[in-house]
Chains A and B, each alone.
Chain A
Amino acid sequence: MNFFFSSPLMLSAFSAVPALIAIYLLRNRFRTQVVSSLILWIDQRRARQGGLQISRIQAPLLFLIELLIIILLVLAAAGPLIKAGSETRVFVIVLDDSFSMLAGDGTTARQRAVEAVVRLLKESGRFNARFIIAGKQAQLLGTSARTISQANELLEQWRCLSGTADLSRAVALAAELAGRTARILVVTDHKAEVDFEQGRLEWWSFGKPLANVAFVNATRTRADDKERCLLTVANLSDKSARTTLTILLLDKSQKLLEKSLELEAGSESRIFFEPQAGTGALRAVLGDDALDIDNEVILLPEQDRAVRLQVSIKDEALESAVKRAVDATKLAVQSSIEPDILITDSAGADFTSVRRWILRILSEPNASSYIGPFVTDRTHPLTEGLWLKDVIWTAAESSDYTGSVIISAGNIPLLTDRLLPSGTHSITMQLAPELSNLTLSANWPVLFWNLLKWRKASLPGFVQSNYKLNSTVTFTADSTEMDVVLTDPQNRTRQISGAANTVVIEPEMPGLYKLKAGDKEHLFSVNAVAKSESNLMGSAGGKWGKWQQAYVFWWEYRSMDWLLLLGVLVLLTAHRFLTAQQQKGAAV
C-alpha cells in the first residue's frame, strides 16, 4: 500500500468536525423576538465581546477554513506516510509445497497463488524477493528475484509435490532471513495457524473446500511366500461418493481388478488384493476428482532380504538357545555360504569377510554371576526393548574387551560392539549359560531380533520397495565404491554420492524411481498417500495479518506531517486576515 497512517487512532479526532458544524448550526439558530423598533440596536458595532452582529453570509468561508484546519490537523496527527518511490521492498515468500495445493476445480490453488504473488511483486515497484519452499523441510528456492521474470522462473520450481508442509519451520526460517527489513508472505491453501509477528507477516490462502476421494494407505507385503496388497480409499468429503478402483500391471497396463466403490461421507474402504506369485509392479488408480495426485499408487513387490545366518557354537545348550531365538524372529535363514552374520563361541573368529558380522558369545572360566544393576546404552540398536530386571548374567572381572560397551555390570563389560574398518561389526557377549538365566528370559529373543533387524537394515539394496511421499529412502550398496545414479519418475537422472556404502534419498515426487548402483538396477516407488493433505475440506481462502503497520517499515515511507501543518499555517493566516478585515469593516 502506498499510503499509511502511523497513528490511525488519531483519526477519531474527526469527531471535532461534527462539533464545529454543530457550533455553526447552533450559532445560526435564532430565537425571534418582536420589538417596538430596531433603532436602539442600529448602532451596534462589531465588538470583541457581546452584541456581535451575526451575518450568516460570512460564515461559510470562515467555516470552511476552520473545517479545513481541523481536517488537516487531524490528518497530521494521524501521521500520514507516503511510500517513497525509490525504496526497494524486500519480501520473503513461503510457498506451501504440499500436494493439496494442486487441488482445484478449474484453476488450482497453486495457480491462483502464483498469480497473486506476481501481482503483488508488480505492484511493489522495486522489490527483492526470496522464496522458501515449505515441504517436509524448509528450503530456500534459488537466489533472490529482483525482476518479475526471475520470480516466474523461481515459481516454476514450486511444484507442490510434498506430502506435508512444515510451514511453522518455514516461517521461522523466513523470519531469520527477513531480519527487520523484509515482509514475510505465506502462500498456502488453509487458514493461518501461526502467531503473527506484528505488521511483518501476511498469510494468504487460496484453498477451497472440495470433495476428494483418495488413497490414504497402500502397502504390499510378502508373508509365507504369498503377496498381499492392502489399499485404503477414503471419501474425504461431507457427501457420499462413488468411484472406480482399477488395479493394473504397471508395465503391461493389464487390468487385474476393476471395482466400483460406494463411499459414505467421511468413510474409508479397505481393499485386499492378492497378486499371483511373480507379479511385477502394480498400479492402482481411482476415478478423477478435485485432486489427481492422490488417485494413483504404484506398488512394487517386496525384495527378498532375509539375513543369512551361520551359527557355529560348540556348546549344545547355547547353540540350541541361539537357534530357538533366531527361528522366532523369522528374519534370518541359516546359511554357511557368505553368511551375513556369524554367531560363534570361539574367540578366534575370522575377520576376513567384508560383509560378515560376528557375534561372539564367550564363556570365561572364572566368570562370576551378576544380578545387576546393569548399565545399558539405550541408544544402541541392540538394546531396544531389553528389560534386564531379575536377569543373572555372568562375566569375568579380568576380561579385556575392546569396543564400545553396550551393557555392563559396574565396570565389567557384558556386551560390547566394535566397528571394524570394513564397516562390519564385531559384537562380543560374555555369557556362561549354565550360570545365567539370560537365555531363559524374554530378553534373549529380543536381543536376537534387534541383532538381525540391525543387520537386515544394512543389507545391500532398499529396506523396502514402497515408500510414502516425504519418506527418507536409504540404499545400501554392495561395496563402498559408490557410483549411484538415480532416475526420477520424470526420467531425470542425477548422480548421488553417499557416506560409506549408504545413500540417503529424499524423493521429491510420487512415482517409480530407478537407482543404478554399479551394474545393478534397483526400483522403489513413492506414493502420495497422506490423508491430511488429501482432505481438502479444511482448505480455505482469505488473508490474515497486515503489513500496513508502517512503523515497521518506516524507512520505506516519507512523513507528510510537515506539508499538512504548512497548510494549517496558511489557513490560519487566511482566517486571521479575514476576521481582521471583518472587524475593520464593522468598525468603519
Chain B
Amino acid sequence: MNESYRRYLLEGQNAGIRYGIGCPRTVQRGLVGSHLGNRSGSSLEFMDHREYIAGDDLRRIDWNAFARSDKLSIKLYRDEVSPHLDIIIDCSRSMALADSEKGRAALGLAAVFAQAAGNSDYSFTAWQVRGTCERVLNGSDRPVLWEGVEFDSDISCEQSFRRQMPQWRPRGLRVLLSDLLWLGEPHSSLCILADRASAVFVVQILAQQDVEPPQRGNIRLKDCETLQQKDIFIDAVAQNRYRKNLAAHQYNWNRACRQLGAVMTTVVAERIVEQWKLDELVRAEILKVL
C-alpha cells in the first residue's frame, strides 16, 4: 500500500482517539442486542405504536388495541444493535482526485471511525469498494496495519454492491465514506447498505474543487474515472448551475437517507485534514466526543 496512505491512516487513528461512536447509545456490551438502536426493530423492548400498512407482519398487530379502537395498529419494538461497525470506503478513482485531499480525508476518516469504534467497545471491519465490496486486509486491526487499499476503481459503489452482495454484519452499524458522485437513484445503493443494518451513516467527502466549480474560461473537463472529456465555457451562470446541480444531488441523497433512517453528512476534505476537527460528524451525532 502506498506509504502516504498509511500516513493518512495514522493521522486519522490519532484524530479518532477522542471520539466514540455516537449512535446508538450504549446499553450493554458483549452481547448481541446489548446496544439499543434508534429505530424500530425486532427486539422485545416495546417502543411505540403505528398504524398498520399493508405488508406489515401480521404477527405484530396489536389485537387489543384493535379491540379498543377498531383500528389496526402495529407494535413497534426497539431494534437490536450489534456493537460492530463496518467501515465502507469508496475506492473509486475520484476519491483520490488529483490536487485534492479526498483520499487523505477518506482514509483518515476511516481510521477515525475505526479508532472511535474501538473507543466505544465496538468491533469494526474495514471494507473497500473496488469492483466488489471486499474486506481490507487486516481491516479489523488497528488502521495503521490495514493493507491493500488503493483508489483505482472505475465503477460506482452501487454497481459494486450489485455485483456481489457485501458480507456486512447484520444489525451492525455501517458507515459509507464516499463522494457519492455517480449517476443513479440513491435508494438503490442505500437499500443495500441499510439491509439488516441497525444504523447507517453516509459521510460524503468532497474536495474543495468539487464544491467550487472551475474558474471562468474554456475548460476541458476530464472525468477521472471514465476519462470522458467535455469542453465547456464556464462563466458565472455556469458556475451557479453547477452549484445548483450539486445541491440537488445532495438533496436527493439526503432525502433518501432520511427515508431509510440513515444519517448523512457532507465534509470538505481540505477542511477536515487541516486540523482533523470533526464537528460536522459530532453535530450529526455520528461521532461523539469522549
Answer yes or no: do A and B interact.
Answer: yes
> For residues 217 through 272 of chain B, which have their beta carbon under 8 Å from a beta carbon of chain A?
217-226, 228-239, 241-242, 245-246, 249
A472 at interface, CB cutoff 8 A: no
User: What residue of chain B has the Cβ atom nearest to residue A51's Cβ?
Assistant: B238
Given A32-B220, A54-B233, are A44 and B241 neighbors across the interface (CB < 8 Å)? yes
A252 to B210, CA, bound (A): 119
Question: Known: A33-B214, A33-B221. Is A39-B242 also a contact (CB below 8 A)?
Answer: no
**A-binding segment of B18-26, B45-53, B176-184:** B176-184
**The stretch of A23-31, A188-196, A314-322, A336-344 that contacts the partner chain:** A23-31
A30 touches B94 (CB 8 A): no
Cα of A518 to Cα of B181 in the assembled complex, Å? 128
- Residue A400 CB within 8 A of the other chain: no
Q: In the complex the two chains form, is B237's CB within 8 Å of A47's CB?
A: yes
The answer to whether B230 and A38 have CB atoms under 8 Å apart is: yes
Whether a CB of chain B sits under 8 angstroms from the CB of A366 is no
CB of A493 closer than 8 Å to a CB of B: no
B135 to chain A, nearest CB (A): 25
Question: Inside 8 A of A36's CB, which chain B residues have their CB?
Answer: 94, 97, 102, 179, 181, 206-207, 210, 223-225
Q: Are B220 and A40 in contact (CB under 8 A)?
A: no
Interface code B84-110, partner A: CB below 8 Å = 1, 0 otherwise?
A: 000000000010011100100000000
- Which of A26, A35, A42 has most chain B Cβ within 10 Å? A35
Residue of A nearest to B239 (CB): A50
Say whether A43 faces chain B, with CB atoms less than 8 Å apart.
yes
Q: How large is the interface on A (under 10, 10 to 19, 20 to 34, 35 or more residues)?
A: 20 to 34
Choice from B98, B229, B237 contacting A51 with Cβ under 8 Å: B237
- Give the residues from 521 to 542 in chain A that come closer than 8 angstroms, CB to CB, to chain B: none
What residue in chain B is nearest A48 (Cβ atoms)?
B237
CA distance A33 to B217 in the complex (A): 12
A44-B238, A44-B241 are contacts. A35–B223 as well, Cβ < 8 Å? yes
B14 sits at the interface (CB 8 A): no
Q: Which residues of A contact B221 (CB under 8 A)?
A: 33, 35, 38, 41
Please give, as numbers and ranges, the residues of chain A lying within 8 Å of B234 by CB-CB distance.
50-51
Q: Are the C-beta atoms of A31 and B230 separated by less than 8 Å?
A: no
- B209 an interface residue at 8 Å Cβ cutoff? yes
Residues of A within 8 A of B217 (CB): 31
CA A27 to CA B220, docked complex, whole Å: 12
B222 contacts which chain A residues (CB < 8 A)?
A: 32-35
- Is A39 a contact partner of B181 (Cβ separation < 8 A)? yes
Chain B residues with CB under 8 Å of A51's CB are 232-235, 237-238, 241
Cβ-defined partner of B218 (8 Å) among A27, A39, A55: A27
Query: What's the minimum C-beta distance from B2 to chain A, rounded to whole angstroms?
Result: 19
Whether B235 and A37, one on each chain, are in contact in the complex, defined by CB atoms closer than 8 angstroms, is no
Contact residues in A for B94 (Cβ distance below 8 Å):
36-37
Contacting residues of chain A (35-84) with chain B, CB-CB under 8 angstroms = 35-44, 47, 49-56
CB distance from B153 to the nearest CB of A (A): 13
A356 to B125, CA, bound (A): 156
8 Å CB contacts to A: which residues of B143-186? 179, 181-183
A31 touches B237 (CB 8 A): no
Q: Are A35 and B209 in contact (CB under 8 A)?
A: yes
Give the docked Cα–Cα distance between A550 and B239 (Å).
57
Would you call B230 and A33 a contact (CB within 8 A)? Answer: no
Most B Cβ at <10 Å: residue of A36, A38, A41: A36
- With the chains together, A477 CA to B242 CA distance in Å? 116
Docked-complex contact B226 and A38, CB < 8 angstroms: yes
Are A33 and B218 within 8 A (Cβ)? no
Contact indicator A54/B237 (Cβ below 8 Å): no
Q: How far is the CA of A34 from the CA of B221 in the complex (A)?
A: 6
A27 to B99, CA, bound (A): 26
Q: Which residues of B contact A27 (CB under 8 A)?
A: 218, 233
- Of residues 407 through 449 on chain A, the ones whose CB sits less than 8 Å from some CB of chain B are none
Check if B181 sits within 8 Å of A30, measured CB to CB.
no
* Given A40-B242, A40-B249, A43-B245; A33-B233 close (CB under 8 Å): no
Instruction: Please determine whether B98 and A34 come into contact, CB atoms closer than 8 angstroms.
Output: yes
Q: Which residue of B lies closest to A55 (CB)?
A: B231
Q: For residue B225, which residues in chain A have a CB less than 8 angstroms away from its CB?
A: 36-37
- CB-CB under 8 A from A34, the residues of chain B are 97-99, 222-224
Task: State whether A53 touches B232 (Cβ < 8 A).
Answer: yes
Q: Which partner residue on chain A sits nearest B184 by CB separation?
A: A39
A30 proximity list for chain B (CB < 8 A): 218-220, 231
Q: Enumerate chain B residues within 8 angstroms of A54, measured Cβ to Cβ.
A: 218, 231-233
Contacts of A47 in B (CB 8 A): 237
Closest to A37 in B: B181
Q: How far is the CA of A62 from the CA of B94 in the complex (A)?
A: 37
Q: Which residues of B contact A42 (CB under 8 A)?
A: 183
Chain B residue numbers with a CB within 8 Å of A33 are: 209, 214, 219-222
Instruction: Decide: A40 near B231, CB < 8 A? Known: A34-B98, A35-B221, A54-B218.
Output: no
Q: In the complex, A525 Cα to B223 Cα: how many Å? A: 105
Complex contact B210–A50 (CB within 8 A): no
B183: chain A residues at CB < 8 Å are 39, 42
**Cα distance A39–B228 when bound, in Å?**
11
* A40 and B207 contact, CB distance less than 8 A: no
CB closest chain-A residue, reference B237: A50
With A27-B233, A54-B233 given, can you name 15 additional A-B contacts, CB distance below 8 Å? A28-B218, A31-B220, A33-B221, A33-B222, A34-B98, A35-B221, A35-B223, A39-B183, A40-B246, A41-B242, A44-B238, A50-B239, A51-B235, A53-B230, A53-B232
* B interface list, Cβ under 8 A from A: 94, 97-99, 102, 179, 181-183, 206-207, 209-210, 214, 217-226, 228-239, 241-242, 245-246, 249
5 closest A-B pairs by CB: A50-B235, A51-B238, A30-B220, A50-B237, A36-B94
A residues bordering B, Cβ < 8 Å?
A: 26-44, 47, 49-56
13 contacts between A and B (CB under 8 A): A27-B218, A27-B233, A33-B222, A34-B97, A36-B102, A36-B223, A38-B230, A41-B230, A47-B237, A51-B234, A51-B238, A52-B233, A55-B231
